[in-house]
Amino acid sequence: MLPPDNPQDIESLKDLVEKRVRIVNRTSGAGTRILFDHLLGRVAEELDREVSELKREIPGYEVELSTHNAIAAAVRDGKAGAGLGIKTVAESNGLDFLELQREEFDFLCRQEALETEFGKEFREALAGERFQELLKDVPGLHPREGAGEVVFTS
């Protein structure tokens, strides 16, 4: 998430590092934080530097907030020049958004739940045209081919 009109002209995570943009971070262990640290590792490799070094140099890296909305508020209120979060929250707060990576999500449930009437209806809904159309109206969410299919059982 970036301030409106992206005043520091950030086009990549590498730009954020090189321009030393003040950030706000998600809490350690949050999925968004894990993704950020993973992507930061790629930037470190590209710059032939240690990721721990980059983490120390990024202003605000140690500032942890627990929600996407809190990140957006900090960026919106000028407390940070960037923060990692989801597009729907960025747009609802009037912020710019730079997509760094798309994520896919699966639902996990017990085998016996899949075989219930609700389980069958849920999978049908995920695979249905109506759900796919609804997703198109939500910024940052994209229908996934194969939605509603069982991908693994044990």
Q: Is residue 108 scored above 90 in pLDDT?
A: no
Instruction: Express each pLDDT in 37-49 by its tens digit.
Output: 999 999 999 999 9
Alpha helix stretches (DSSP H) within 5-128: 13-18, 31-46, 51-57, 68-76, 87-92, 111-114, 117-127
pLDDT cut 90: percent of the chain above it: 69
How far apart, in whole angstroms, are the C-alpha atoms of residue 134 and residue 128? 10
How far apart, in whole angstroms, are the C-alpha atoms of residue 74 and residue 82? 9
CA distances from 63 to 49, 75, 112, 125 (A): 22, 13, 43, 40
Average pLDDT rounded to a whole number, residues 73-77: 98
Q: Is residue 119 scored above 80 in pLDDT?
A: yes
All residues at 6 or more sequence positions from 94 whose CB lies less than 8 Å from its CB, including other chains: 4, 76
Range of weakest confidence among 42-51, 63-72, 100-109? 100-109
pLDDT of residue 25: 96
Predicted TM-score of the model (pTM): 0.77
